[in-house]
């Protein structure tokens, strides 16, 4: 499978508070900007880290079409929690993700996979208890908690992650490809039957679970075109 990148649709260095003023936070987080990057961590004391309200989602308040490549720099600073990327997110009846008819969300995962939105979400850098002995990247489709694709996670522990890793997610019709530093970790093709119709368009966002501190930078969204497909 080959994708050709086209027009740059969105370009954000994520270097200061000014750069995330068009983002919306659900849940509580401490967001700072050391080293000209967006650093995110939960806003609660250590003894509260496992509470559901310590997890959060930061949404980009832009609607993107289908057939896009989303890329960003990611660097973990702690060996805890989990990082997740959301795309093609909208209401289950096609509403805007922030339509007032949708129920309020505050970072509780249940609201996102069994609430009133549809989305694709890829979890990576999974360092929660019970996951650290076998590390994977998981792609799920919601509504529902459908694990549709899985691969190994090559990201090292934070003490060895001395520089940011470039992550890219390509979404083109039924195709979803996830890569780090140009190494493809998985490529999933939605059969449009098992978990419902293909999700197209919507918003993108970043989710973290308590314990993780991580830096993000250089968020870009390109239009893409599927140019070849061999099976």
Q: Nearest CA to 217 among 5, 6, 14? A: 14
pLDDT bucket at 230, cuts 50 / 70 / 90? low
What tens digit of pLDDT does each residue of 152-188 get?
Answer: 999 999 999 999 999 999 999 999 999 999 999 999 9
What tens digit of pLDDT does each residue of 3-29 get?
Answer: 999 999 999 999 999 999 999 999 999
Under 8 Å between Cβ of 210 and 54: yes
Q: Nearest CA to 199 among 60, 68, 8? A: 68
What tens digit of pLDDT does each residue of 94-139 get?
Answer: 999 999 999 999 999 999 999 999 999 999 999 987 777 789 999 9
pLDDT value of residue 216: 98
pLDDT value of residue 2: 87
- Tell whether the model's pLDDT for residue 48 goes beyond 70: no
Q: Mind listing the domains of the chain with CATH numbers?
A: 2-228 (2.60.120.200)
C-alpha–C-alpha distance, residues 174 and 28, integer Å: 33
Q: Nearest CA to 64 among 112, 138, 139, 119? A: 119
C-alpha–C-alpha distance, residues 104 and 57, integer Å: 13
pLDDT top residue among 59 and 28: 59
Q: How many residues does the chain have?
A: 231
Please enumerate in sequence order all residues whose Cβ is within 8 A of that of 45, keeping only pairs 6 or more positions apart, or say none: none
Question: Percent of the chain, pLDDT > 70?
Answer: 95
């Amino acid at each position: 499978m080959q994708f050709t990148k086209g027009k740059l649709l969105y370009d954000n260095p994520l270097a200061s508070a000014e750069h995330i003023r068009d983002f919306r936070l659900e849940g509580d987080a401490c967001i700072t900007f050391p080293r000209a990057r967006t650093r995110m961590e939960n806003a609660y004391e250590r003894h509260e880290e496992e509470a559901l309200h310590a997890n959060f989602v930061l949404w980009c308040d832009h609607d993107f079409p289908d057939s896009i490549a989303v890329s960003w720099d990611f660097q973990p600073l702690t060996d805890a929690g989990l990082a997740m990327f959301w795309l093609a997110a909208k209401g289950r009846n096609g509403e805007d993700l922030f339509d007032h008819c949708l129920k309020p969300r505050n970072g509780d995962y249940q609201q996102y996979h069994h609430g009133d939105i549809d989305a694709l979400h890829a979890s990576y850098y999974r360092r929660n208890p019970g996951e650290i002995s076998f590390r994977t990247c998981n792609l799920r489709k919601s509504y529902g908690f459908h694990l549709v694709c899985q691969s190994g996670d090559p990201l090292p522990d934070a003490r060895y992650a001395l520089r940011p890793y470039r992550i890219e997610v390509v979404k083109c019709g039924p195709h979803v490809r996830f890569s780090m530093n140009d190494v493809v970790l998985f490529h999933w093709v939605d059969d449009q039957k098992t978990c419902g119709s293909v999700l197209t368009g919507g918003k993108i966002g970043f989710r973290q679970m308590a314990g993780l501190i991580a830096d993000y930078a250089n968020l870009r969204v390109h239009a893409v075109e599927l140019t070849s497909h061999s099976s």
